[in-house]
Amino acid sequence: MAPQDSLVFKVRRCEAELVRPAKPTPRERRRLSDVDDQEGLRFQIPEIQFYRGDGTGRDPVQAVREGLARALVFYYPLAGRLRELPGRKLVVDCNEAGVMFVEADADVTLEQFGDALQPPFPCLEELLFDVPGSSAVLDAPLLLIQVTRLKCGGFIFAVRLNHTMCDAPGLVQFMSAVGEMARGADAPSVLPVWERELLDARDPPRITCTHREFDQVEDTKGTLMPLDDMEHRSFFFGAAQMSALRSRVPPHQHASTKFEILTACLWRCRTIALQPDPEEEVRVLCIVNARTKFDPPLPAGYYGNAFAFPVAVTSADKLCQNPLGYALELVKKAKADVTEEYMRSLADLMVIRGRPHFAVVRSFLVSDTTKAGFGDVDFGWGKAVYGGPAKGGVGAIPGVASFYIPFRNRQGESGIVVPVCLPAPAMRRFVQELDALLKDPPPATSNKKSTFVISSL
């Protein structure tokens, strides 16, 4: 898919305001869990929703603002501010300081977005304006929300979240509560559960599992992404594309999930495109929701971070020279690593090792949001036309992460859209490699080996 750069429009914003809980809430300090406050989650993550108008003339800005204030009575920690204690422990000062809110109008219709209704979105920085002074992790609003009215009566809801507070299911749970309150409910259908101590380290902490996702990897060859000349593109995988990829793995792997096959494919194509030295280690980190891995499972209303980044590690030449089934086996094994004991060990590692960042050198991180439910959030105008991450490559280190987002294309075909962020020359090689996998007939016996180019870095 080509990048969508052609649509240009103007956005008129009102001055940013702080929306506080509609009723008084407890003034207290609440500790984040030892999984929440790891270094790799200390950043702001953008998410965006597009909605059609309903012809009634109702004001979405007013509806969302009121729903937000009422939902914050239940989710009052989100109206607070983060503080850091000794040992890099994060706590929320529940002080009703409020959520940053921006009202805006754009001279564009939903229809004008056309095929651009997928990341990277045109004029994203106008639809989710970075209010000066609002983006710090500590002592700043934990949420920034912008509601932009469109000329057609539709609107865009964009949100930026301090990731230490919630993961994707947690954010969807909160947004759904805002939607329910905006539609007149007295209380959210799922009441929030704080209980962050459920994911705290044991006493004494002890690392009982292997966590190679937190290896300290030196960037000896300068292979971290350059921040300039980065290209954002999205790729659509419908039934035909998934069938083509599935045909490239041996019969005993045909029962693999879409996530597993897609992750193996993208990891391999991306590695070939980035041209690391053949002997260097490369890794893929898969975000796995651990809510159901506990016995008993975490409470239904838990909205903190409850996931792990299990990792698959191999050398660049093994990944690129072997058939796709090799990468697929590594991905499947990594996913299976996540258990309750793994999560306990992860929390313990954070305390023992000072809350490190996950390995980013020659790493690719994938997060499946297809079941998160962003598109189901209803503020009173029905389900979103698009709901999900606003762009790929976000995080403390740009270019490392991609998201799998549920998507229906202009032809009405359902599938998965994946935003990818790479340096421009690598993006060209990535597209070439992916096209070859999707278009070339699969070999009768084994996959063709990719031409592996030694890095010139």
Type of residue at 327: A
Number of neighbouring beta carbons within 10 Å of residue 363: 23
- How many other CB atoms are there within 10 angstroms of residue 423's CB atom? 19
> CB of 269 within 8 A of CB of 349?
no
Which residues partner with 46 through β-bridges?
160
Token pair recorded at residue 96: 């009703």
**Owner of token pair 């063709």:** 448
Q: Which residues, listed in sequence order, are joined to residue 454 by a DSSP beta bridge?
A: none
Is the alpha carbon torsion for 295, 298, 300, 305 positive or negative?
Answer: negative
d(CA 45, CA 367): 13
Neighbouring CB atoms inside 10 A of 397's CB total 19
**Lookup: tokens for 113:** 């977005």
Distance CA 90, CA 200 (A): 12
Block residue for tokens 């929030």 = 192
368: left (phi over 0), alpha (psi -120 to 50) or beta: beta
CA dihedral 350, 356, 357, 363 (to 10 degrees): -90
C-alpha span between 161 and 389 (Å, rounded)? 11
378 is a catalytic site residue: yes
CA distance 3 to 5: 6
Cis peptide preceding 204, ω within 30 of 0: yes
> Which residue in the list 34, 163, 211, 232 is annotated as catalytic?
163
CB-count burial class (<10 Å; 0-12, 13-18, 19+) for 209: middle
Does the annotation mark 163 as catalytic?
yes
Give catalytic residue positions.
Answer: 163, 378
